[in-house]
Each structure stands twice: as C-alpha cells, then as structure tokens.
C-alpha cells in the first residue's frame, strides 16, 4: 500500500478533528452563551483559543487511543479510514438533530467495528480487558478505558455539579441576585476557559492517537520505503509497548480543532445550554467547574472520557440542585439515547464500510 493512501487517511482524520471542533464546541461554551455572559461569537473565540492551548498539554489520552484498544498488528490504513468515516457519519447525524453525543465514543466505536470487520470477525483483535494490579485506571482495553469511564465519569460530573451548586446556594443565600450575577458572570468566563482548555487536552489528543496509529501501521508495512526523502518525518515506529506522539502531529491536530471550533455548533449549543435547564451565571460556573475538574483528572490518567457526557451530566446536576422539575427530562431522554447508541452506531457504520470495500476487492 502506497504512502498516498496513508496521506488520505491522515486527511480523513483531520476532517474528523475539524468536525469534532464544531460538534463539541457546545461542550465548553453552551453554558456561557446560555447565561448571556458572552455572545456566541465571543464564546466561540474563547473556546477556540483555549482548545488550541489545551491540545498541547500532555499525550496520555493520545497514547491510549493509539495502543490501548485494539491490536495494532490488525490495523491497516483502510481500517483507520473506515473507523474515522464511521465516527464522522454518526457525528454529523447527531449534529443535525442537535444532540450532544460523544465524538470520543464515535471514534472508539468506529475503530472497534472496522478492526473486527477487517480481521474477519476475529474478536481477539479487540483488547477487551488488560487489568492493572496497581490501579484499575492503569488497565488497558475497552472495559477499563471506555466502558467504565463512560459509566463512572458522568455520574461523578453529576454529583459534583449537584454538590457544588448546593454549596453555592448555601453560601450565597443572603446575596442580592444582582451581585450574584455580576460576580459569577466574571467567574464564568474563567470556568468556561478552563472547560475549553480541558476539552483541548482530551478531544484533540484522540485524533493525535489515530494519526500516530496510521503512521505506525504504514511504516511497518513499508509504505514509506519509496516515498520522497522529504516525507521521512511521517515514518513512525513503536517504542516498546507505547507510542510517542510527534510534535508536528500535535500542532496540526490542535490547529485543525481550533478551526473547527471557530465554526461553532449552534444546534448543540441550543440543546445543552437552553433546552435541558434554564441557567444563570452561577449555574454555568458550577457546571463548568465540575466538568473541568473531572476532565483534568481523567486526562492526567490517560482515560479518554467523553467531554460531552461530563458537561451534560454536570448541567443536570446543577439543575437538579435547583429543583428536580427544573430539568426537562424529555430532552434528557433523547440525549441519553444518543449516548447509548453512539458506540454501536459508529461501530456498525465503520464495519459496513469495511465490508463494502472487501466486497469490491479493495481490502
């Protein structure tokens, strides 16, 4: 397989990153727009800048995506391309309907589905569980790096949002509403920036991992042997069990996500910031702070959690602290179904794409 195919796969990965940028923009700016602390244009620019900065912070999540979910020996350029296309298809569907689904899980589902199809249903190519005797979060595989965080991190985000909002209600009970809005209007800019930064540390790194995986597979297959000398920077080999993420990959992914973020994502912003719970600046501050805290911890541990799930759960926690009927549960039901369907839907889409290529003799 020639290096041209690898370049095509890298291009598809960057398209996924761009879509991730405008699809998940709502994660970091929906609340600050809903509370009218910032205009949509101001919020999008803040998110773009902080996403860019966050993308350069560490590579733990990227390494997990690149070498902790599927057998890299079973991964080809076709597998990666179809995995990304599966994720892109699901992201565009959920964006069209304004549902804040997870780009993280769309990518993971696509990778699993494509790998399974390419290996002709060899389930051994999927790393289901490699537990670590020291800590569960150090384990590898779908169970420890995807399923467990998918369940645990939104619960933690919801609880933190609920507790933080309850604490603020207690501390601010004697404050005048005008003072609360003025103070937390300013503080929410900081919490929104933190959310944007943590989104960059998490989501941009996933595409870094996919690109690294593609380049390792291409290098191993000898795709760059006849490539021009100036393309030697694309060659990448494994160092032991892990991958080191090249600086140029970080730069390209960070800029691409920043560009996508600058495009905005108003459909999802309306769902997350307006339809589920009516938010005031103090509510937005609590939700963003709770979610950014969870993302900081999981990003440091290299766990690729869903930014979408965390901020959505935190918003629900904040709303529930106000009163249970402040949450529009019919909207929440649609969002939860999107969460549940993301992994299998993206996986099936990627699986079918690989099977289609196999039927035409292209893989």
Per-residue pLDDT reduced to its tens digit, 70-88: 887 788 888 889 999 999 9
* pLDDT number for residue 118: 92
Taking a C-beta distance cutoff of 8 angstroms, is the pair 51, 303 a contact?
no
Q: How confident is the model at residue 206 (pLDDT cuts 50, 70, 90)?
A: confident
- Ranges 119-128, 211-220, 232-241, 246-255: which has the least confidence: 232-241
10/16 Cα distance (integer angstroms): 10
SS3 316: helix
Task: Look up residue 85 and give its two tokens.
Answer: 């296309």
Taking a C-beta distance cutoff of 8 angstroms, is the pair 125, 115 a contact?
yes
Taking a C-beta distance cutoff of 8 angstroms, is the pair 346, 107 a contact?
yes
* pLDDT number for residue 30: 76
Taking a C-beta distance cutoff of 8 angstroms, is the pair 273, 188 a contact?
no
9/84 Cα distance (integer angstroms): 9
Instruction: Give the closest residue to 207 by CA, choosing from 6, 5, 20.
Output: 20
117/215 Cα distance (integer angstroms): 21
- Ranges 220-234, 261-275, 280-294: which has the least confidence: 261-275
Entry pTM: 0.79
307/265 Cα distance (integer angstroms): 15
* pLDDT number for residue 337: 86
- Ranges 52-66, 74-88, 274-288: which has the least confidence: 52-66
What percentage of the chain carries pLDDT values higher than 90?
25
Averaged confidence pLDDT in the chain: 83
Mark residue 240 as left, alpha or beta (left: phi above 0; alpha: psi -120 to 50; beta: remaining): left
Q: How confident is the model at residue 27 (pLDDT cuts 50, 70, 90)?
A: low
Q: How confident is the model at residue 60 (pLDDT cuts 50, 70, 90)?
A: low
Phi and psi at 70, nearest 5°, equal -135, 160
Phi and psi at 186, nearest 5°, equal -75, -40
Task: Look up residue 252 and give its two tokens.
Answer: 């390209």
The per-residue pLDDT for range 297-326, each reduced to its tens digit, is: 887 777 777 887 888 889 889 988 888 777
More confident residue, 180 or 336: 180
Residue 137 has pLDDT above 70, yes or no: no
**What does each C-alpha distance from 331 to 102, 245, 335 come to in angstroms?**
16, 39, 6
Altogether, the residues listed in the chain come to a count of: 363
Q: What number of H helices and E strands is found in the chain? A: 14, 0
Residue 20 has pLDDT above 90, yes or no: no
């Amino acid at each position: 397989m020639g290096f041209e195919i690898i370049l095509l796969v890298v291009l598809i990965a960057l398209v996924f990153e761009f879509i991730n940028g405008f699809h998940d923009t709502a994660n970091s700016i929906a609340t600050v727009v809903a509370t009218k602390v910032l205009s949509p244009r101001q919020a999008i620019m803040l998110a773009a800048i902080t996403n860019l900065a966050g993308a350069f912070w560490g590579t733990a999540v990227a390494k997990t995506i690149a070498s902790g979910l599927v057998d890299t020996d079973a991964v080809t350029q076709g597998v990666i391309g179809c995995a990304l296309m599966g994720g892109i298809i699901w992201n565009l569907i959920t964006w069209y309907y304004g549902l804040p689904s997870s780009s993280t899980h769309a990518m993971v589902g696509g990778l699993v589905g494509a790998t399974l199809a390419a290996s002709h249903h060899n389930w051994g190519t999927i790393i289901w569980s490699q537990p670590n005797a020291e800590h569960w979060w150090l384990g590898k595989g779908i169970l420890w790096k995807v399923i467990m965080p998918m369940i645990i991190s939104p619960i933690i985000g919801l609880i933190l949002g609920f507790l933080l909002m309850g604490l603020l209600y207690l501390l601010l009970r004697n404050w005048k509403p005008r003072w609360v809005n003025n103070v937390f209007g300013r503080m929410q800019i900081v919490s929104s920036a933190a959310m944007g930064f943590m989104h960059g540390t998490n989501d941009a790194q996933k595409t870094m991992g996919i690109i690294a995986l593609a380049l390792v597979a291409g290098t191993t297959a000898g795709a760059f042997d006849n490539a021009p000398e100036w393309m030697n920077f694309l060659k990448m080999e494994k160092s032991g069990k892990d991958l080191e993420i090249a600086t140029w990959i970080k730069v390209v992914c960070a800029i691409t996500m920043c560009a996508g973020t600058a495009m905005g994502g108003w459909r999802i912003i309306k769902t997350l910031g307006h339809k589920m719970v009516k938010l005031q600046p103090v509510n937005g501050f609590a939700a963003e702070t709770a979610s950014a805290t969870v993302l900081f911890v999981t990003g440091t541990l290299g766990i690729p959690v869903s930014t979408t799930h965390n901020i959505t759960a935190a918003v629900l926690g904040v709303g529930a602290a106000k009163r249970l009927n402040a949450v529009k549960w019919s909207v929440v039901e649609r969002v939860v179904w999107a969460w549940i369907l993301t992994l299998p839907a993206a996986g099936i889409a990627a699986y079918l794409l690989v099977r289609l290529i196999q039927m035409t003799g292209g893989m």
